[in-house]
Amino acid sequence: MARAATTSDAFNAIAEPQRRDILVLLRAGERPVNDLAQELGMSQPRASKHLRVLREVGLVRDRKAGKQRVYGLNAGGLRPIHEWVGGFEQFWNESFDRLDSYVQDLKQAQEQDLERTRQED
């Protein structure tokens, strides 16, 4: 089966770990492609390919600065991912609330058992 094009949407684009690494670096601000490549230990052409994919799905923007291209994070492009992940937030919050309640019940039962043991002695 043929692999889906990585440029079709942001989810496919960030499936590649090195692209996620690029996004993390760009959170601090704009960076030239050569700096990104060096920081990530990859060739400039490889970094450029990853940046092209990220740009095509709207996760990064670029501009010409002299002889080089400077890339920056386009946070708006992350909106679909944020919204999708956010859909699970309520599920996890409720799960953690139930877990917290369960742990509190266990602690209370343990304290009651300890108190009963003390009273029996």
What is the SS3 assignment for 73?
A: strand
**For residues 9-24, average pLDDT:** 94
Under 8 Å between Cβ of 18 and 40 = yes
Domain ranges for the chain, please list them: 10-79, 89-120
CATH architecture of structural domain 10-79: Orthogonal Bundle (1.10)
Q: pLDDT tens digits, residue range 40-54? A: 999 999 999 999 999
Name the amino acid, one letter, at 6. T
Tell me what the pLDDT averaged over the chain comes to.
90
**For residues 89-108, average pLDDT:** 93
pLDDT (0 to 100) of residue 64: 94
Is the pLDDT at 65 greater than 50? The verdict is yes
Is the pLDDT at 120 greater than 90? The verdict is no
pLDDT (0 to 100) of residue 116: 85
pTM of the model: 0.70
**For residues 74-93, average pLDDT:** 89
Strand runs (DSSP E) across 1-121, as ranges? 31-32, 60-65, 68-73
Taking the C-alpha atoms of residue 3 and residue 64, their distance in angstroms, rounded to an integer, is: 32
Tell me how far apart the terminal alpha carbons of the chain are, to the nearest angstrom: 71
**For residues 16-23, average pLDDT:** 97
Is the pLDDT at 2 greater than 80? The verdict is no
Is the pLDDT at 6 greater than 70? The verdict is no
What pLDDT band is residue 8 in, cutting at 50, 70 and 90? Answer: low
In DSSP terms, 34 is beta-bridged to: none
